């Protein structure tokens, strides 16, 4: 429940991004402070939680890790539906994975509107020597779509706490703003409140290949 | 007809291999004086990793050596070869394995006492091997994040029951008399498979079960490896994440990773539509633990073609959707309370069952049990996946019902996978107690297809409407430009338009555009008809043309 005082916020966060960019590693590092380079390919979404205390307010995070390959999203948007935040991960050594992030931004904005807090995360900065996505490009892009950009390394445990903490603060702000806009009425759950927005006008051309769940 | 991939074993001692696969190329069957024995030694020192698991070594040691031999086409399956053992006294003599022919049981009756003694020794060794593989089965396979790995087992017992010996002989006979068994004793065969195919027979029995022993595509394999595939990057990303704890696949550039990549790449080239799909590498990986890459490739091609896997792994993953739909209905019918609980927790079926179908439990259960399920899958298809799935939920119902989403998620990841470690038979037995009605499944498939078709039609309709909307908008823009050309201070009361069928629509639109500001409801035109302006706003408009002539 998103409410003031001693109440607790519950947020749903989903990790999305190309296969093998380190989504599972980020979650495992954050929730269990583990790094294992021997985990298997993620084939179905898995779920972990984390409890935080931010400026005296309790926050429960439900974090969904997803399968990376595009075709796995053909079954529908069940994992990112009702998400308060999305972490879009790319691998700094892989230009393609950054392009996939762009597709995800379009998809999420279309399906969830502007209420979802977006983070774009360049992971594997321990491999900075092999970097193929420039910092300026990534940060510039993030700014242009209203997302925050972070650099992380799940291996070296860099930038991950900050990423989730920032995201939580932003989600709290969003929740509080929403609460205010609803007046002082009864509190409401921060999840399960939005319907899917019907977007009237699809972009006319250049629909990102595969960015959408209907792609063949 | 070559049916390779026979018997594989582990351990450093010389290994005696039962000739479960007498169809392996045997030269000069009629001329060799020593009909009953041939040699094959697999020493673990030839392997890349000496501490590797018996099951794994078993798979590849044999395959690699056999491949290296580049043997000529083999003989037809010959029932005479039943039960004749293959022995190797040292590792340098493996050529002999393929040149020394096997013999008929009748021949073995004429053996010298020495030979008989040797034969007895062989049988004893075979039993040890079987014990080895039995002990393997009780160990857990590599699991995600479990940190566990297969440890080399050396717990071979010398006291093997007659039952196990009989199993060995029986399976030797089955393999050799395959066609006959399939024709006449299919029911018994099914029962035996449910009890588990002995480890050393898996390679050959799996190939026989899916009819992959004589496939033309096999000849393309080496050519395919020379080509490059658009999926290579995708495949490579997952190689190190497939059985990462398993010795065979451990380490960059390990043999396991190399052959896994090869097979996945070759497949992506023969089936461009599917290409590569995550999950499939686990199935191929299991095959590679049992047989050489070319054979594994053939079996995988068959599984994709004949076992619904291709549909499962297609880009639309439509078959997975169907399986989930069918499974959900089984759940609803057989475990209604659990189903209600899942729903109340928004625990969607696909959140736990997707991987069951995609990897046939290979990423969910430890390998020894998952391989048992795979045995049955090879004979009975996806049905066993539904059965095991429901059996698992049944077994865990009381626990799951008390858990929330997080608890259930943990239960699925940490508790369930190891519940049956010590008793795989229990799970198989429970799976066969699950009610499964093929007719009902067919009906569900039809339902699902109808739903999907309807969804697709709606999608198409939406797309069509969007396109139309876009075109209309463009037209409005054009028209508004035209309208600017008219003298708006001098619009006639009745607009006379000469109707030209080719430009009718455009003229209507023009008329409409002009008249919309005057809220006209109709206008007369010379050619004998009336435009009824049914509605008109700045976005769109409807006009009806009523001709006086008709």
* Whether B459 contacts chain A with CB within 8 A: yes
Q: Are A32 and A24 in contact (CB under 8 A)?
A: no
Write the CA distances from B386 to A203, B310, B322, integer angstroms.
42, 18, 12
The b/e string for B477-496 (b: 16+ C-beta within 10 A; e otherwise) is eebeeebeeeeeeeeeeebe
* Burial class, A79, CB count within 10 angstroms (exposed 0-12 / middle 13-18 / buried 19+): buried
Q: What is the pLDDT of residues B341-386, one digit of tens each?
A: 999 999 999 999 999 999 999 999 999 999 999 999 999 999 999 9
- The interface pTM score, or ipTM, of the predicted complex is 0.83
The beta-strand segments (E) located in B331-407 are none
Q: Tens digits of per-residue pLDDT, A19-78?
A: 999 999 999 999 999 999 888 999 988 889 999 999 999 999 999 999 999 898 877 677
Looking at chain A, which residue has its C-alpha nearest residue B471?
A: A204
Closest chain A residue to the Cα of B279, Cα to Cα: A43
Interface check A49 vs B, CB under 8 A: yes
The residue count for chain A: 216
Label the pairing between strands B522-525 and B85-86: unpaired
What's the pLDDT score for residue B118? 55
pLDDT, residue A74, reads 74
Q: In the structure encoding, which two tokens stand for residue B403, read together?
A: 């858990």
Contact call for A75 and B363, based on CB within 8 A:
no
Handedness of CA B32, B33, B36, B40 (dihedral sign): negative
Residues of chain A in contact with residue B277, where contact means CB-CB under 8 angstroms, are 69, 71
C-alpha span between A104 and A208 (Å, rounded): 10
Q: How many other CB atoms sit within 10 Å of the CB of residue A5? A: 6
| Test the A interface: residue of B275, B344, B350 with most A CBs within 10 Å | B350
- Please, are residues A197 and A11 in contact by the beta-carbon 8 Å criterion? no
Cβ–Cβ gap B278/A40 under 8 Å: no
B275, B266 contact by CB (below 8 A): no
Cβ <8 Å between B406 and A49:
yes
Nearest to B282 by CA among B377, B362, B365, B202: B362
Q: For B350, which residue in chain A has the nearest alpha carbon?
A: A44
- Comparing C-alpha atoms, which of B124, B119, B104, B116 is closest to residue B165? B124
In DSSP notation, B85-135 reads EE--SSGGGHHHHHHSPP--HHHHHT--HHHHHHHHHHHHHHHHHHHHHHH
Which residues are bridge partners to A14 per DSSP? Answer: A64, A86
pLDDT in tens, B140-167: 333 333 333 333 333 344 455 677 788 8
- What whole-number distance in Å separates Cα of residue A54 and Cα of residue B264? 48
Q: How many CB atoms lie within 10 A of CB A8?
A: 13
Nearest-CB residue to A36 (from B145, B352, B469): B145
Residue B365: predicted pLDDT: 97
Q: What proportions of chain A, in percent to the nearest 5, are helix, strand and coil?
A: 35, 25, 45
Q: Determine the Cα–Cα distance for residues B337 and B473; give it in Å rounded to an integer.
A: 53
User: CA-to-CA distance for B78 and B80, rounded, in angstroms?
Assistant: 5
Listed residue (A97, A98, A64, A88) closest to A78, CA to CA: A64
Using the Cα atoms of residue B63, residue B66, residue B69 and residue B75 in order, give the sign of their dihedral.
negative
Residue with the larger pLDDT of the pair B81 and A16? A16
Quick check: B144 and A75 CB within 8 A? Answer: no
Q: Residue B209's Cα: distance from chain center in Å? A: 15
CB of B405 within 8 Å of any CB in chain A? yes
| A205 Cβ under 8 Å from any chain B Cβ | no
Q: Which residues of A touch B145 (CB under 8 A)?
A: 28, 34, 36, 39
Listed by number, the residues of chain B in 465-524 with a beta carbon closer than 8 Å to a beta carbon of chain A are 466, 469-470
As a dihedral over the C-alpha atoms of residue B276, residue B59, residue B67, residue B205, rounded to 10 degrees, the angle is -80
CB-CB neighbors (< 8 A) of A31 in chain B: none
Give me B363's structure tokens. 């990423």
Bridge-based pairing state of the strands A8-16 and B522-525: unpaired
**Inter-chain CB proximity A41 and B469 less than 8 Å:** no
Task: Determine contact: B316 vs chain A, CB below 8 A.
Answer: yes
CB-based contact (8 Å) between B121 and chain A? no
- For residues B22 and B84, give the distance between their C-alpha atoms in angstroms, rounded to a whole number: 8
**Are residues A47 and B358, on separate chains, in Cβ contact within 8 Å?**
no
List, edge to edge, every strand of the sheet that includes B522-525.
B522-525, B529-536, B541-547
A74·B459 Cβ contact <8 A: no
Q: How many whole angstroms separate alpha carbon B287 and alpha carbon B133?
A: 17
CB contact under 8 A, A72 and B241: no
Rounded Cα–Cα distance for residues B212 and B305 (Å): 11
Sheet with A117-123: strands ordered across: A46-54, A57-65, A8-16, A85-91, A117-123, A148-151
Are B355 and A68 inside 8 Å of each other by CB? Answer: no
What residues of chain A lie within 8 A of the CB of B405, using their CB?
47, 62
Judge: A44–B355 Cβ closer than 8 Å, yes or no: yes
A75 touches chain B (CB under 8 A): yes
Are A209 and B315 in contact by the 8 Å Cβ rule? The answer is: no
Q: Which residues of chain B have pLDDT under 70?
A: 1-161, 481-550
Shortest CA gap B475–chain A (Å): 15
**Is residue B323 within 8 Å of B312, Cβ to Cβ?**
yes
B280-290 vs B293-306: helix axis angle to the nearest 10? 140
Q: Which structure tokens are listed for B315?
A: 């880009």
Verdict on whether the full-model pTM lies above 0.90? no
Tell me the DSSP string of B487-533: -TT---SS------GGGHHHHHHHHHHHHGGGT--EEEETTTEEEEE
| Positive/negative CA dihedral, A151, A154, A157, A161 | positive
Judged by CB atoms closer than 8 Å, whether chains meet at B355 and A45 is answered as no
How far is Cα B524 from Cα B548, in angstroms, rounded to an integer?
A: 11
CB contact under 8 A, B317 and A71: yes
Model pLDDT, residue A98? 97
Q: Three-state DSSP class for A51?
A: strand
A51 and B CB contact within 8 Å: no
Dump pLDDT digits (tens) for A118-170: 999 999 999 999 999 999 999 999 999 999 999 999 999 999 999 999 999 99
Q: How far apart are the first and last CA of chain A?
A: 39
**Cα–Cα nearest to B376, from B358, B355, B360, B396:** B360
Q: Which of residues 261-290 of B touch A (CB under 8 A)?
A: 277-279, 281-282
Tokens 């991987």 correspond to B355
- How far the first Cα of chain B sits from its last, in Å, is 78
Q: What is the 3-state secondary structure (H, E, C) of A114-177?
A: CCCEEEEEEECHHHHHHCCCCHHHHHHHHHHCCCEEEECECCCCECHHHHHHHHHHHHHHHHHH
Out of B316, B406, B466, whose CB is closest to A202? B466
Instruction: Mark yes or no for CB contact B241/A39 under 8 Å.
Output: yes
Q: Return d(Cα B26, Cα B101) in angstroms, integer.
A: 5
A67: contact with B, CB 8 A cutoff: yes
* Distance of residue A40 Cα from the nearest chain B Cα, in angstroms: 4
- Reduced to 3 DSSP states, what percent helix, strand and coil does chain B have, rounded to the nearest 5? 60, 5, 35
């Amino acid at each position: 429940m998103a409410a003031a005082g001693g109440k607790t916020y519950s947020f749903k966060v989903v990790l999305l991004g190309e296969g093998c960019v380190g989504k599972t590693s980020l979650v495992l590092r954050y929730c269990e402070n583990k790094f294992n380079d021997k985990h298997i390919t993620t084939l179905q979404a898995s779920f972990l939680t984390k409890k935080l205390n931010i400026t005296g307010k309790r926050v429960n995070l439900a974090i969904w890790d997803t399968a990376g390959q595009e075709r796995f999203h053909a079954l529908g948007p069940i994992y990112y539906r009702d998400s308060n935040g999305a972490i879009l991960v790319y691998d700094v050594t892989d230009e393609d994975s950054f392009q996939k992030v762009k597709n995800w931004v379009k998809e999420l904005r279309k399906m969830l509107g502007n209420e979802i807090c977006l983070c774009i995360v360049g992971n594997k900065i321990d491999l900075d020597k092999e970097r193929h996505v420039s910092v300026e490009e990534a940060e510039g892009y993030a700014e242009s779509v209203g997302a925050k950009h972070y650099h992380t390394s799940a291996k070296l445990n860099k930038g991950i706490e900050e990423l989730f903490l920032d995201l939580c603060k932003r989600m709290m702000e969003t929740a509080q703003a929403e609460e205010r806009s609803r007046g002082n009425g009864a509190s409401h759950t921060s999840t399960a409140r939005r319907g899917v927005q019907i977007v009237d006008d699809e972009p006319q051309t250049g629909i990102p290949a595969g960015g959408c769940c209907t792609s063949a | 007809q070559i049916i390779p991939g026979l018997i594989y074993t582990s351990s450093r001692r010389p290994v005696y291999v039962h000739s479960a696969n007498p169809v392996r190329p045997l030269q000069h069957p009629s001329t060799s004086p020593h009909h009953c024995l041939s040699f094959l030694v697999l020493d673990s020192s030839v392997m890349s990793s000496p501490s590797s698991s018996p099951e794994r070594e078993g798979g590849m040691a044999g395959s690699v050596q056999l491949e290296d031999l580049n043997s000529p086409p083999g003989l037809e399956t010959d029932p005479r070869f039943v039960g004749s053992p293959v022995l190797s006294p040292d590792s340098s003599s493996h050529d002999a394995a393929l040149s020394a022919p096997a013999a008929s049981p009748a021949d073995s009756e004429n053996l010298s006492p020495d030979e008989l003694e040797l034969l007895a020794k062989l049988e004893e060794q075979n039993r040890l091997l079987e014990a080895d593989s039995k002990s393997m089965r009780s160990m857990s396979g590599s699991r995600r994040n479990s940190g566990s790995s297969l440890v080399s087992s050396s717990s071979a017992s010398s006291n093997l029951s007659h039952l196990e010996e009989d199993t060995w002989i029986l399976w030797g006979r089955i393999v050799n008399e395959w066609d006959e068994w399939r024709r006449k004793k299919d029911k018994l065969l099914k029962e035996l498979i449910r009890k588990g195919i002995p480890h050393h027979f898996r390679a050959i029995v799996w190939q026989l079960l899916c009819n992959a022993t004589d496939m033309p595509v096999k000849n393309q394999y080496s050519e395919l490896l020379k080509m490059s595939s658009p999926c290579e990057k995708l495949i490579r990303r997952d190689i190190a994440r497939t059985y990462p704890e398993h010795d065979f696949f451990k380490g960059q550039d390990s043999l396991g990773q190399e052959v896994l990549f090869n097979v996945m790449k070759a497949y992506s080239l023969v089936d461009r539509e599917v290409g590569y799909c995550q999950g499939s590498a686990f199935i191929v990986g299991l095959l590679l633990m049992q047989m050489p890459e070319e054979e594994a490739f053939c079996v995988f091609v068959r599984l994709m073609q004949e076992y619904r896997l291709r549909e499962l792994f297609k880009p639309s993953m439509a078959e997975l959707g169907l399986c989930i739909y069918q499974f959900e209905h089984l759940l609803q019918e057989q475990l209604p309370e659990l189903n209600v609980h899942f729903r109340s927790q928004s625990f969607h079926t696909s959140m736990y069952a997707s991987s069951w179908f995609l990897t046939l439990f290979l990423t969910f259960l430890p390998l020894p049990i998952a391989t048992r399920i795979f045995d049955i899958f090879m004979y009975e298809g996806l049905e066993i996946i539904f059965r095991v799935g429901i059996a698992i939920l049944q077994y865990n119902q009381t626990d799951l019902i008390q858990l929330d989403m997080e608890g259930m998620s943990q239960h699925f990841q940490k508790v369930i996978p190891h519940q049956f470690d010590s008793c795989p038979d229990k799970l198989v037995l429970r799976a066969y107690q699950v009610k499964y009605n093929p007719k009902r499944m067919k009906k569900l498939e039809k339902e699902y297809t109808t739903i999907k078709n309807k969804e697709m039609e709606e999608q198409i309709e939406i797309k069509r409407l969007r396109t139309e909307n876009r075109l209309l908008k463009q037209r409005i823009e054009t028209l508004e430009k035209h309208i600017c050309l008219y003298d708006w201070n001098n619009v006639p009361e009745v607009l006379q338009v000469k109707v030209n069928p080719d430009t009718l629509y455009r003229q209507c639109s023009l008329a409409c555009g002009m008249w919309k500001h005057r809220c006209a409801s109709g206008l007369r035109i010379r050619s004998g008809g009336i435009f009824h302006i049914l509605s008109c706003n700045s976005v769109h408009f409807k006009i009806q043309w009523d001709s006086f002539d008709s």
